[in-house]
Amino acid sequence: MDPNEFQKAYGKLVAKAWANDDFKAQLLSDPMTVFKENDVTIPEKIEVRMVENTENIRYFILPSESSDKLTYEELDGAAGGIFLSPFGP
């Protein structure tokens, strides 16, 4: 599954979770089954854990260290995108 397809499929799961508490509970407790049932492909060796940000709790992901070391200048050049405050507007 290419990244764009994954983003669209994952977005649909998130929207469904926001609209259906039972579905959200299942997604949080057994994401791999929900992904499989909704044709969202995850590589076999990958384990998925779902957590939910709340009004008072925010989760931050610590990315794994890359085997390709970049200089600070290369990292600065690679930074981009948008930043959404995890603490609200």
**What is the phi/psi pair of residue 80, to 5°?**
-175, -165
pTM: 0.70
Return all residues near 10 (Cβ < 8 A) that are at least 6 apart.
40
Q: Tell me the pLDDT tens digit for each residue of 4-50.
A: 899 999 999 999 999 999 999 999 999 999 999 999 999 989 999 99
Domain count, the chain: 1
For residue 83, tell me if it sits in a domain: no
**Nearest alpha-carbon partner for 23 in 12, 34, 37, 32:** 34
Residue given tokens 């925010």 in the structure block? 58
Name which residue leads in pLDDT, 81 or 6: 6
For residue 89, tell me if it sits in a domain: no
For residue 86, tell me if it sits in a domain: no
Rounded Cα distance between 70 and 43, Å, is: 26
pLDDT at 63: 83
Q: Which two tokens stand for residue 27?
A: 């997604």
Task: With H, G, I as helix, E, B as strand and everything else as coil, classify residue 60.
Answer: coil
For residue 71, tell me if it sits in a domain: yes
Domain extent, residue 21, equals 3-78
